[in-house]
Copies of this chain bind each other. A is one copy, B any other.
Amino acid sequence: MVASLRLPSLTSLLFPATTRYPATFRRTVCLRNRPLSGFATAPSGTASPETKSTEVDRLRSDRAVTPRSQDFNAWYLDVIASAELADYGPVRGTMVIRPYGYAIWEAIQDYLNVKFKETGHSNMYFPQFIPYSFIEKEASHVEGFSPELALVTVGGGKELEEKLVVRPTSETIVNHMFTQWIHSYRDLPLMINQWANVTRWEMRTKPFIRTLEFLWQEGHTAHATPEEAEKEAKQMIEIYTRFAFEQTAIPVIPGRKSKLETFAGADITYTIEAMMGDRKALQAGTSHNLGQNFSRAFGTQFADENGERQHVWQTSWAVSTRFIGGIIMTHGDDTGLMLPPKIAPIQVVIVPIWKKDTEKSGVLSAASSVKEALQTAGVRVKLDDTDQRTPGWKFNFWEMKGIPLRIEIGPRDVSSNSVVVSRRDIPGRAGKVFGISMEPSTLVAYVKEKLDEIQSSLLEKALSFRDSNIVDVNSYDELKDAISSGKWARGPWSASDADEQRVKEETGATIRCFPFEQTQGTKTCLMTGNPAEEVAIFAKSY
């Protein structure tokens, strides 16, 4: 059970050893074919702007991670290791979320927590141990989840009378408690959320995307009418959609799941579907209209205004650490991670550059002033003033970490009272602007404008990539062509579950959703030729 799953060896990392920088970087030295020994012995902090660019070019010519185009999966795992986002835990399929990865999760939490509270939800906490009998109460729920359960059978040295499920999701225990809190229509709506860990015994795991244990938020609400529950389920998928677009620059497609893909226990599942860099779909968040399925199974009732007992109408909705995987696979490139400014734990890194010791204090003092000015203006900024690393090394390190903007300050910049600003999303000289004034109001305005530009630019790029990889299809043959060329297929669909199953078996693609945004006009089912109400989107997925 232990240590059976490991990150693949890092194929081509290039950074020298002795350092207080991350272990993954250091260890790779042993793995490298061509150690750049000059770096390890370079006098500390002494790269001039001149030597720097040569060095950077040299570093750039030696890839830090497996090229994305060569092996998307290896690239993904390399980026996670090299950008220090996560490591595998000792138990198969578990993941340690490292500080940099966790900081992205905190940024996700900070945004969503505010939105949840603004829309009337309160945070709380339910126990993670659920009596096994609870899981069995809702028929489709047990069918969906029982193969994935982790069971506690021993507690305090004794075999337990009833085995306990480590929560895979909390609808059952939530309903058990709701029956104690809900009595009349005046207790409704009851709208809560919890931030928690959940466990699903997955066979094929992948960091962030599918792990035995992951972190998420799960919202649970109870309402007096089906209309209210439906409105809530839609409101939450809308919040997720805006989060994805506005914060993470991921142009998700919101829509409704097909019956086959609906959550075990829900009447309707709404989803946001994202296209990753390899054009596979990622389900990035879901919101379920649970109808009365759980309230009937658990007897969650209220007295309506006429004093009659009714079962409540419910929703549940969740976003998880999987979203971090989505951010990596949407924006990352061969240089590493690329973070949208709004979600980036560090938005700007300042790299001071000096050659002689006489230059050092002037450069560092200017760098500190710039840091101070940006910090005061609310920019998340890091000054990398260690002298154990060359500027070139630092450039690569922070590019790997996906920092949106880099500010370089050398002796000549200090003399001219200006800085050099480099964009992470535009490689090389094209992304570099010289002579930006250090004067705080000018610099702050410039930096904020650039961060906004990067945010928009990442979204536009992802949007154009997404749209150029969705093919409108009108027949099964066209669908098969689209899927086999790695694209998404969008076409009218009113065929049976069996037909949907057949598409899955024959092409590997599933219905990702019936998108909310539908084309006008009459539609003919691509499979049956019958009239169709809606287009569906088919794709291979994670």
Contact = CB atoms under 8 A, between A and B. Distances in A.
* Residue with the greatest number of chain B CB neighbours at <10 A, chosen from A129, A150, A201: A129
A151 B147 contact: no
A152 interface: yes
Interface of A: 1-2, 18-20, 22-23, 26-27, 87, 89-91, 94-99, 101-103, 105-106, 122-131, 133-134, 146-157, 160-164, 166, 173, 176-177, 180-184, 186-188, 192, 196-197, 199, 201-203, 212-213, 215, 388
B152 A156 contact: no
Contacts of A2: 131, 133, 162
A388 B186 CA distance: 10
Nearest to A148: B156
Contact of A180 (B23, B149, B201): B23
A1 B183 contact: no
Number of copies of this chain in the oligomer? 2
B90 A102 contact: no
Nearest to A161: B1
Contact of A23 (B124, B173, B176, B183): B183
A131 B183 contact: no
CB-based closest 3 A-B pairs: A20-B186, A156-B201, A99-B122
Contacts of A20: 184, 186-188
A147 to B, nearest CB: 6
A84 to B, nearest CB: 9
Given A124-B98, A127-B95, A153 B156 contact: no
A152 B150 CA distance: 7
Contacts of A27: 183
Contacts of A96: 124-127, 177
B127 A186 contact: no
A181 B25 CA distance: 10
A199 B127 CA distance: 10
